[in-house]
Amino acid sequence: MKKIKIKKNNNIQKDDDNNKKNVKRIKSSSSSSSSSSRLLDLLDMSNPNPIKIGNYTNKQKILLVGEGDFTFASSLASKLGSRSNIVATSYDKEREVKEKYPETSIHAINALKMSGALVFHGIDATRLNDYEDILLNPSSIKLFDVIVFNFPHVGGSTKDDIKANQNLLKDFFTSCNSLLASNGEIHITLRTKSSFYSNWNVEKLAKDSNLKLKKTVKFDSIAYKELGYQEVRTHPGALRDAPSSDDAITYIFCE
């Protein structure tokens, strides 16, 4: 994958200022647990047996993008005892997350912060390079071993929406570049029951971004749901629940 630096335009800068304000607020509330987190990180490193769930271990530095109500991130953190090795982000601003997912997001975000994981809102997965300074934990120079985007979706289900989702993934793949460790992985999870998703042709999009498909694995929805994960829609409505993730698979790509 080519190393690309995207220049910010003035509009993006304005958005970034808002993001940074959000980010500062969130960071200050989690900083109190940072020294104990570092101690626990050291204890983790001295334990040779990794704790695992699905495709993830407590030895990895994991970036989650496009979280909805943060229940996936909190399910990982509750199993991995994660601390600062999990950085969980949403595209929605904090207020939007809480309005869209009032039943679940507040508890999930609190649990994440208690575990020492970092939580940021207003993070656009197609412009990750713009947030390098905040996403890479200042106490560590380590890049991410895994960048995860579960059920990416801009909303809608028309032919035009297929194109919009393809653009989302294409730009996401490019923007992972400056944050991913050299042997790191990019994980995309998609449902398989509908041809809507197969029409995105995720493998080709990745290939066009010079990524290789390492493998596909079944998304372990049962394990995550036992720990509190629940599926959400990009634009939740009162009438339709989010579709099940039981048929989903995770595509694991590497450079």
Ligand X SMILES: C[S@@+](CC[C@H](N)C(=O)[O-])C[C@H]1O[C@@H](n2cnc3c(N)ncnc32)[C@H](O)[C@@H]1O
**Residue numbers at the binding site for ligand X (CB under 6 A):** 65-68, 72, 91-92, 124-126, 150-154, 168, 231-234
Distance CA 19, CA 227 (A): 29
Q: Which is nearer to ligand X, 113 or 187 (CB)?
A: 187
Between 66 and 116, CB nearer to ligand X: 66
Of the pair 168, 176, the CB lying nearest ligand X is at 168
In terms of DSSP bridges, do strands 86-89 and 212-218 run parallel, antiparallel, or are they unpaired? unpaired
Distance of closest approach, residue 2 Cβ to ligand X, in angstroms: 20
| Overall residue count recorded for the chain in this entry | 255
Q: Which is nearer to ligand X, 89 or 137 (CB)?
A: 89
Shortest Cβ distance from residue 205 to ligand X (Å)? 15
Read off the tokens for 151: 């059920």
CB–CB of 223/160 below 8 Å? no
Q: How many CB atoms lie within 10 A of CB 183?
A: 8
Closer by beta carbon to ligand X, 95 or else 212: 95
* Long-range CB contact pairs, 30-36, < 8 A, 24+: 30/113, 30/116, 30/118, 30/119, 33/113, 33/114, 33/116, 34/84, 34/116, 34/139, 36/116
CB of 90 to ligand X, least distance (A): 6
- Shortest Cβ 57–ligand X spacing (Å): 20
Residue 228 Cβ vs ligand X, minimum distance, rounded to whole Å: 12
